[in-house]
């Protein structure tokens, strides 16, 4: 009896220990992640931490840089979702430690961080001025804070296309050739009509993935054509209910959902990622950087199933980033050199070839490396030509300081419509309220 | 206090008190007594040493009696002050400010509290938290009770079963939440597949209040039912067997024994588990977080956003620490309130039996 009791006690203790171990490792995993920031200077080599999100296509470039600089070791830290990346970066900057030596700033969060320009190194102090001529003018200008400091050097821009599954289009009796597909949708109305035909064929899949990608695309197109800003005007005043571009984008996407075209998946969630593998949807608006994400999600089995056509409603771009060096970095000069290397036309071309992040430097726009660039994962689609055509005509759209907060709220409301929890009229009012609350 | 703490010494202490006035007493009369001692004695030196020795011992004895208990419990209170009381107070201090991560802070008095009382999202989160708490905890404790009763019987390999029910507890919450979230997936989830086998249409689990609450509750129950069962089991083993024998002789069935003997005898344990579950249930975080694919929104319209998620959304998404701290304090008050209510209800229920 005593023996069993002891054994039981022992088992109990073991169980408790195991539980603590599990929880403490769970915590320490996170802790390590956060703590290992910018410093560690071991044995004469300098370690530079690079914070990115999504897929920047930098792995080969990092190796190349390390090979050329024996004293530099690069530690990449990548987060899948931008929405997880931003608050962490903000906390690191406010706390004064933890951020990488090089951090990526996406267009939607750029203004938020530019407004804290004291937290970043002025790249002009590190000889970036000579690079100005490489960039699209607006891309260079947007990297500057109000006080004239150059916070970020441009990486990619996101010219728009429309990605589609050839096998599902074929099943639905639609053309599969990308030129013919592009002709199906000169504007978004035609896109919806095509969607209705697709839905009528009952392939078991939905036409589009969900509301988010389409909404963001229409919004940026409409804003580019008209006022040049989205949720916030250029004085950072919320104009959610008065900017017609928002209402147009909202109504367009609501119509897609009402016609039953949407799989109602929220972008960048695990279910959305699974949808690529399972063929849950046949099309989504894709800025060039989205190609890398599709490839990641659809995996090797998806090779050759996806193709790229022109986006409905004319050009435009969505996304694109800058690289910046936080002033908390202990190796600002080295970090700035790395930034200059990564944003040089040659590196941008290499990143482009790796992950379809379309360069913001114009040097190779007319070069065969881009114009003739084909992507074998996407059925040898001439992605260089598709995305390159509009790149130089892109008009920049101003995204306010709290852009990301408002965008997330709107995306939630759109998801709720898809789930049948809100009628479109209720939804518009709710979106207005949520935007106000998010912008406060 | 003194007498109570060391009854055996009382006589000795009183004795020494009369023999020689003591340092611990009023210092004013000590010299007087010393004087009289000197005057009346031939060998003051020897007496003095022995008195000093006795006095020192006495003093130590008393100090021991008086202060040691405090020293013994001090570590807890020190830790509690540093890790419990201070954060609590500091959080309250933060909640009195308009305190943003970017852009500094400003004292705003009770503005945050005024705002939160009319904040529909906050009350939505309270309703969700309470709803999930009720549909998770009530079945959980009932099942735990029945499970404990079953485990309390003599059977082969009882230790294996008893440890078995604890296994879910030692798995990481994150793993549990991820697996369950997959099971409840809309398109490729196993639960919908099983429902499909019996002809039920697939449910979009995260889309509605009821379905998301059920999904999250099952995660909580899966993890904690065994834990509570073991606590009940331990308490059951302390119930004297002769009570059951007497009941059996009186012709009470096992079922009746369980409800009229076991359950009332477990009253203090049930109160304990209810309060612990209340505290845990109202702080529910990881399960709804992962069920909402890692966002703090708790679904498209916040249909399963708990108070802790709402707190994180404000503090760490919007970087509004002042409001986040206010939510934390409201949650604290809510837990105290619900715990007291639960305590009263449970006490009442069991005492009527």
Grouping H, G, I as helix, E, B as strand and the rest as coil, residue B276 is helix
Q: Which residues pair with B98 in a beta bridge?
A: B106
Share above pLDDT 70 across residues of chain A, in percent, rounded to a whole number:
90
pTM of the model: 0.76
Site from A19, A30, A206, A262 to mutate, B interface, most B CB atoms within 10 angstroms: A19
Find the largest Cα–Cα distance for chain A. Answer: 85
Which of A372-376, A388-392, A436-440, B282-286 is predicted least confidently? Answer: A388-392
Instruction: Return all residues near B252 (Cβ < 8 A) that are at least 6 apart.
Output: B260, B261
Q: Is the pLDDT of residue A40 over 70?
A: no
* pLDDT score of A37: 42
CA angle B182, B186, B190 (to 5 degrees): 50
> Looking at beta carbons, which residues of chain B come within 8 Å of A22?
170-172
Q: Do A412 and B174 touch (CB under 8 A)?
A: no
**Tokens of residue B216, six digits:** 């999250």
**Sorting pLDDT into bands at 50, 70 and 90, what band is B46?**
low
Lowest mean pLDDT among A156-165, B1-10, B228-237: B1-10
Mean pLDDT of A82-97: 86
Tokens representing residue A24 in the block: 């403490």
Q: Which of A8, A19, A412 is closest, CB to CB, to B300?
A: A412
Which range scores top for mean pLDDT: A314-318, B19-23, B98-102, B119-123? B119-123
Q: What mean pLDDT comes out for the span A310-329?
A: 87
For chain B, say whether A24 makes contact (Cβ under 8 Å): no
The answer to whether B301 contacts A26, with C-beta atoms less than 8 Å apart, is no
- Cβ(B138)–Cβ(B146) below 8 Å: no
Please tell me if residue A429 touches chain B, with a CB cutoff of 8 Å: no
For chain A, positions 341-370, list CB contacts with chain B under 8 A: none
The per-residue pLDDT for B351 is: 56
Query: Which among A22, A405, A415 has CB closest to B172?
Result: A22
- In chain A, residues with a C-beta closer than 8 Å to the C-beta of B204 are 264, 419
Q: How far apart are CA A132 and CA A250, in angstroms?
A: 37
CB-CB neighbors (< 8 A) of B318 in chain A? 405, 438
Higher model confidence: residue B39 or residue A163? A163
* Cβ-based contacts of B313 with chain A (< 8 Å): none
**Which residue in A94, A274, A421 is closest to B101 by CB distance?**
A94
- Yes or no, beta carbons of B170 and A422 under 8 Å apart: no
Instruction: Rank A8-12, A165-169, A301-305, A382-386 by mean pLDDT and report only the highest.
Output: A165-169
Strands A281-287 and A206-208: parallel
Q: Which residues of B touch A (CB under 8 A)?
A: 101-102, 121, 159, 162-163, 166, 169-174, 181-182, 185-188, 204, 207-208, 293-295, 297, 300-301, 303, 316-319
Mean pLDDT, rounded, for A314-325 = 86
Confidence at residue A298, expressed as pLDDT on a 0 to 100 scale: 85
Dihedral angle of Cα B184, B186, B191, B193, to the nearest 10 degrees: -160
What chain B residue is nearest to A403 in terms of C-alpha separation? B318
Residues of B with Cβ-Cβ distance to A116 under 8 angstroms: 102
Nearest residue to B278 via CA among B336, B209, B333, B210: B336
Helices B173-183, B190-197: inter-axial angle, 10-degree rounding: 40
pLDDT at B7 over 80: no
Say if the Cβ atoms of B316 and A415 lie within 8 Å.
Answer: no
Of B163, B172, B300, the CB nearest to A415: B300
Residues from chain B contacting residue A274 (CB–CB below 8 Å): 185, 187-188
Q: Over 70: is that where the pLDDT of B140 sits? A: yes
Kindly state the DSSP code that residue B17 receives in the 8-state scheme. H
pLDDT tier for residue A30 given thresholds of 50, 70 and 90: very low
Three-state secondary-structure class, residue A378: coil
B208: nearest CA partner in chain A: A421
Dist. CA B147–CA B228, nearest whole Å: 9
User: Would you call A275 and B297 a contact, using CB atoms and an 8 Å cutoff?
Assistant: no
The answer to whether the CB atoms of A8 and B162 lie below 8 A apart is yes
For the cut 50, the answer to whether the pLDDT of residue A20 exceeds it is no
Contacts of B233 in chain A (CB under 8 A): none
Contacts of B171 in chain A (CB under 8 A): 22
According to DSSP, residue B315 is labeled I
The answer to whether A30 contacts chain B (CB < 8 Å) is: no
Instruction: For chain A, give the number of residues.
Output: 440
Three-point CA angle B85, B86, B90, nearest 5°: 120
CB contact under 8 A, B162 and A22: no
Structure tokens at B21: 């006035």
The counts of H helices and E strands in chain A are 18, 9
Burial class (CB in 10 A: 0-12, 13-18, 19+), B117: exposed
Using a CB-CB cut-off of 8 Å, the residues of chain A touching B238 are none
Q: Which residue has the tokens 């509009």?
A: A390
Closest partner residue to B293 (CB to CB) among A7, A263, A269 is A269
CB atoms within 10 A of CB B227: 21
- Number of A to B CB contacts under 8 A, please give it: 83
Are β-strands A358-359 and A152-165 bridged in parallel, bridged antiparallel, or unpaired? Answer: antiparallel
Q: Six-digit token pair at B20? A: 């020689």
Q: What is the 3-state secondary structure (H, E, C) of B139-203?
A: HHHHHHHHHHHHHCCCCCCHHHHHHHCCHHHHCCHHHHHHHHHHHCCCCCCHHHHHHHHCCCCCC
Q: How far is CA A427 from the centre of its chain?
A: 25
Contact B159 A412 (CB under 8 A): no
- Give how far A435 is from chain B: nearest CA, Å: 13
The pLDDT of residue B132 is: 94
A421/B101 touch (CB, cutoff 8 Å), yes or no:
no
- Select the residue of A18, A83, A271 nearest B187 (Cβ to Cβ): A271
Q: B301 vs B105, which has greater pLDDT? A: B301
Q: Domains in chain A, please, with CATH?
A: 46-157+320-359 (3.40.190.10), 158-317+380-439 (3.40.190.10)
Answer whether B317 sits within 8 Å of A8, measured CB to CB. Answer: no
Q: How far apart are CA B94 and CA B100, in angstroms?
A: 10
Alpha carbon B247 to its chain centroid, in Å, reads 35
Residues of B in contact with A438 (CB under 8 A): 318
Query: What domains can you pick out in chain B, each with its CATH number?
Result: 2-74 (no CATH), 116-351 (1.10.3720.10)
Interface subset of A 86-125, CB within 8 angstroms of B:
87, 90-91, 94, 115-116
Cβ atoms of B2 and B61 within 8 Å: the answer is no
Distance from CA of B175 to the nearest CA of A (A): 10
Report the alpha-carbon distance of residue A371 to residue A362 in Å, rounded.
12
- Pairing between strand A317-324 and A102-106? antiparallel
CB neighbours of residue B69 within 10 Å: 12
CA–CA min distance A116, chain B (Å): 8
Is the pLDDT reported for residue B115 higher than 50?
yes
The vertex-A296 CA angle with A295 and A297, nearest 5°, equals 95
Q: What is the rounded average pLDDT for all residues in chain A?
A: 82
The pLDDT of A44-62, averaged and rounded, is 86
Separation of alpha carbons B177 and B248, rounded Å: 44
For chain B, say whether A372 makes contact (Cβ under 8 Å). no
pLDDT of residue B233: 92
CA proximity to A427, closest of A247, A193, A213? A247
The answer to whether the Cβ–Cβ distance between B163 and A22 falls below 8 Å is no
Q: Do A83 and B303 touch (CB under 8 A)?
A: no
A16 to chain B: closest CA residue: B170
Average pLDDT over residues B49-56: 76
Whether chain B has a CB inside 8 Å of the CB on A17: the answer is no
Task: Flag whether residue A262 sits within 8 Å of chain B, measured between CB atoms.
Answer: no
* ipTM, interface predicted TM-score of the complex: 0.73
Q: Are A249 and A272 in contact (CB under 8 A)?
A: no
**Burial (CB count within 10 angstroms: exposed 0-12, middle 13-18, buried 19+), residue A74:** buried
Q: What b-and-e string marks burial along A374-412, b requiring 16 or more CB atoms within 10 Å of the CB?
A: ebebbbebbbbebbbebbeebebbbbbbbbbbbbbbbbb
Residue B31 or A424, more confident: A424
Q: Residue count of chain B, please give it.
A: 353
Interface contact A87-B186, CB threshold 8 A: no
Q: How far is CA A281 from CA A195, A205, A214, A263, in A?
A: 11, 5, 13, 6
Cβ of A8 under 8 Å from any chain B Cβ?
Answer: yes
Mean pLDDT of B170-174: 86
CB contact under 8 A, B166 and A15: yes
Q: Is A129 near chain B, with CB under 8 Å?
A: no
End-to-end CA distance of chain B: 38
pLDDT confidence of residue B48? 56
Distance from CA of B53 to the nearest CA of A (A): 47
The mean-pLDDT minimum among A174-178, A236-240, A363-367, B191-195 falls in A363-367
Residues of chain B found within 8 Å of residue A408, distances taken between Cβ atoms: 297
Confidence of residue B350 (pLDDT cuts 50, 70, 90): low
- Of the ranges A128-142, B8-22, B31-45, which one carries the lowest mean pLDDT score? B8-22
> Encoding tokens for residue A409?
């709220």
Per mean pLDDT, which range of A89-98, A196-205, B39-48, B71-80 is the poorest?
B39-48
Say if the Cβ atoms of B186 and A271 lie within 8 Å: yes
Instruction: Look up residue B206 and give its DSSP letter.
Output: G
Return d(Cα A319, Cα A289) in angstroms, integer: 8
**Residue B289: its pLDDT value, please?**
92
């Amino acid at each position: 009896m005593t023996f069993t009791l002891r054994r039981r006690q022992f088992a109990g203790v073991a169980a408790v220990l195991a539980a603590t171990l599990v929880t403490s490792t769970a915590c320490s995993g996170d802790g390590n992640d956060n703590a290992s920031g910018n410093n560690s200077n071991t044995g004469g080599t300098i370690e530079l931490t690079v914070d990115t999100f999504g897929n920047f296509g930098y792995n080969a470039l990092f190796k190349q840089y390390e090979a050329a600089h024996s004293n530099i070791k690069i530690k990449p830290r990548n987060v899948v979702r931008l929405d997880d990346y931003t608050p962490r970066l903000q906390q690191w900057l406010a706390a004064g430690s933890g951020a990488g030596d090089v951090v990526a700033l996406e267009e939607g969060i750029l203004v938020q961080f530019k407004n804290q320009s004291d937290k970043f190194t002025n790249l002009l102090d590190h000889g970036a001025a000579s690079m100005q001529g490489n960039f699209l003018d607006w891309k260079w200008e947007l990297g500057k804070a109000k006080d004239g400091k150059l916070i970020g050097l441009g990486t990619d821009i996101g010219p728009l296309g429309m990605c589609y599954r050839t096998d599902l289009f074929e099943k639905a009796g639609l053309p599969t050739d990308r030129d013919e597909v592009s002709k199906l949708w000169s504007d978004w109305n035609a896109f919806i009509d095509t969607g209705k035909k697709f839905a009528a064929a009952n392939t078991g899949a939905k036409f589009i993935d969900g509301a988010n990608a389409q909404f963001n695309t229409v919004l940026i197109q409409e804003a580019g054509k008209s006022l040049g800003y989205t949720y916030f005007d250029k004085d950072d005043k919320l104009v959610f209910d008065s900017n017609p571009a928002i209402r147009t984008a909202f109504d367009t996407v609501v119509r897609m959902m009402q016609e039953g075209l949407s799989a109602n998946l929220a972008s960048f969630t695990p279910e959305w990622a699974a949808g690529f593998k399972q063929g849950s949807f046949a099309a989504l608006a894709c800025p060039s950087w989205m190609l890398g994400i599709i490839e990641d999600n659809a995996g090797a089995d998806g090779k050759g199933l996806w193709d790229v056509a022109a986006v409905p409603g004319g050009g435009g771009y969505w996304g694109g980033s800058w690289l910046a060096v936080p002033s908390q970095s202990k190796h600002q000069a080295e970090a700035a050199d790395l930034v200059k290397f990564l944003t040089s036309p040659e590196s941008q071309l290499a990143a482009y070839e790796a992950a379809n992040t379309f360069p913001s430097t114009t040097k190779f726009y007319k070069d065969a490396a881009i114009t003739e660039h084909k992507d074998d994962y996407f059925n040898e689609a001439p992605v260089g030509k598709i995305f390159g055509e509009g790149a130089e005509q892109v008009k920049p759209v101003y995204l306010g300081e709290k852009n990301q907060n408002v965008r997330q709220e709107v995306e939630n409301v759109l998801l709720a419509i898809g789930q049948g929890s809100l009628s479109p009229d209720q939804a518009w009012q709710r979106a207005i309220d949520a935007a106000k609350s998010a912008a406060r | 206090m003194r007498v109570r703490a060391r009854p055996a010494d009382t006589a000795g202490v009183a004795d020494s008190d009369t023999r020689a006035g003591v340092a611990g007493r009023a210092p004013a009369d000590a010299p007087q007594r010393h004087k009289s001692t000197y005057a009346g004695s031939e060998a003051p030196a020897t007496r003095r040493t022995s008195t000093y020795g006795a006095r020192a011992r006495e003093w130590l004895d008393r100090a021991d009696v008086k202060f040691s208990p405090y020293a013994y419990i001090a570590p807890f209170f020190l830790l509690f002050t540093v890790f419990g009381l201070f954060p609590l107070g500091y959080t309250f201090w933060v909640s009195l400010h308009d305190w943003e991560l970017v852009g500094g802070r400003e004292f705003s008095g009770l503005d945050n509290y005024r705002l939160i009382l009319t904040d529909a999202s906050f009350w939505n989160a309270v309703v969700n938290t309470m709803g999930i708490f009720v549909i998770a905890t009530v079945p959980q404790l009932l099942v735990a009770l029945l499970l404990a009763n079953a485990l309390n019987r003599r059977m082969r390999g009882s230790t294996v079963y008893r440890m078995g029910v604890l296994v879910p507890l030692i798995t990481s919450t994150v793993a549990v939440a991820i697996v369950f979230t997959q099971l409840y997936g809309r398109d490729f989830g196993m639960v919908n597949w099983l429902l499909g086998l019996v002809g039920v249409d697939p449910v979009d689990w995260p889309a509605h209040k009821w379905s998301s609450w059920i999904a999250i509750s099952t995660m909580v129950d899966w993890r904690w039912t065994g834990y509570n069962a073991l606590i009940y089991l331990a308490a059951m083993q302390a119930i004297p067997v002769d009570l059951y024998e007497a009941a059996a002789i009186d012709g009470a069935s096992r079922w009746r024994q369980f409800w009229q003997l076991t359950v009332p005898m477990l009253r203090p344990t049930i109160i304990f588990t209810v309060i612990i579950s209340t505290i845990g249930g109202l702080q529910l975080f990881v399960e709804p977080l992962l069920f909402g694919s890692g966002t703090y929104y708790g679904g498209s319209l916040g249909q399963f956003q708990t108070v802790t998620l709402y707190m994180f959304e404000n503090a760490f998404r919007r970087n509004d620490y002042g409001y986040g701290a206010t939510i934390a304090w409201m949650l604290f008050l809510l837990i105290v309130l619900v715990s007291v209510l639960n305590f009263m209800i449970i006490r009442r229920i069991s005492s009527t039996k």
